[in-house]
Amino acid sequence: MSALSELYKEIELCQKCEIAKYRTRAVPGEGAEDAEIMFIGEAPGWHEDKQGRPFVGPAGQFLDELLAAIGLKRQQVYITNVVKTRPPSNRDPLPMEIENCRQWLNRQIEIIKPKMIVTLGRYSMAMFFPGKSISKIHGTAQKRDDIIYYAMYHPAAALHQQSLRRIIEEDMLKIPKLLAEAKNIAEVEPSPQQLSMFEV
């Protein structure tokens, strides 16, 4: 069994948070084990909870379109969320839920070893760019320990706010060039807050 399949089993059995009682399915993530790019959203919604797959509702359709715009299919990348269980009524994930799920995300990163991590939305951004504001840093990249971190608005934001659609599309179109030129991007020192992200 692959390392990812083993991990999915553990995630499906996890009962650390109260919300595990109410889920239909856990949503560990999906995609290629050797993906170069890993997209990290917030938490599963109604559709994802039913299917056990990330980004399969309206936001996911837009994400598929964005991927197609750079010549990629979802099977060629890796897609997951900060939190692997749907928070009831789609409320925001609680800090404790994010903390409890962090070990899974860390292990996904260890297994996949992506060249680039794309954060989708505020919650995912906060893990890798603590203290930053999405309106300031979307579409910008930072390289640390040989991984390019790149912040984008959440695709669902375009469904609520039409003006963000163009911005999200433009930010997505920058990804191939960043990957192609990864070697030329200067490394930055991780801040103490960023380092603490990997302590579980």
Distance CA 139, CA 129 (A): 13
* Using rule CB under 6 A, residue 129 touches ligand URA: no
* Using rule CB under 6 A, residue 100 touches ligand URA: no
Which of 110, 108, 122 has the alpha carbon at shortest distance from 43?
122
In whole angstroms, the minimum distance from the beta carbon of 123 to ligand URA comes to 8
Question: Tokens at residue 78, please?
Answer: 């890796």
By Cβ distance, which residue is nearest to ligand URA? 41
Number of residues that bind ligand URA (CB under 6 A): 13
Q: Which amino acid is at 75?
A: Q
Considering beta carbons, is residue 46 or 195 the nearer one to ligand URA?
A: 46
If you count them, how many residues does the chain have?
Answer: 200
Considering beta carbons, is residue 31 or 44 the nearer one to ligand URA?
A: 44
| 3-state secondary structure (DSSP) of residue 52 | coil
First-to-last CA distance in the chain? 25
Site for ligand URA in 66-95 (CB under 6 A): 81
Site for ligand URA in 24-63 (CB under 6 A): 41-45, 48, 54-55, 57, 59-60
| 3-state secondary structure (DSSP) of residue 82 | coil
In whole angstroms, the minimum distance from the beta carbon of 124 to ligand URA comes to 8
H or E, element range at 30 = strand 30-31
Considering beta carbons, is residue 55 or 150 the nearer one to ligand URA?
A: 55
Strands (DSSP E) found in 34-190: 37-41, 78-81, 116-120, 141-144, 147-152
* Using rule CB under 6 A, residue 104 touches ligand URA: no
Site for ligand URA in 171-190 (CB under 6 A): none
Tell me which residues touch ligand URA (CB under 6 A). 41-45, 48, 54-55, 57, 59-60, 81, 156
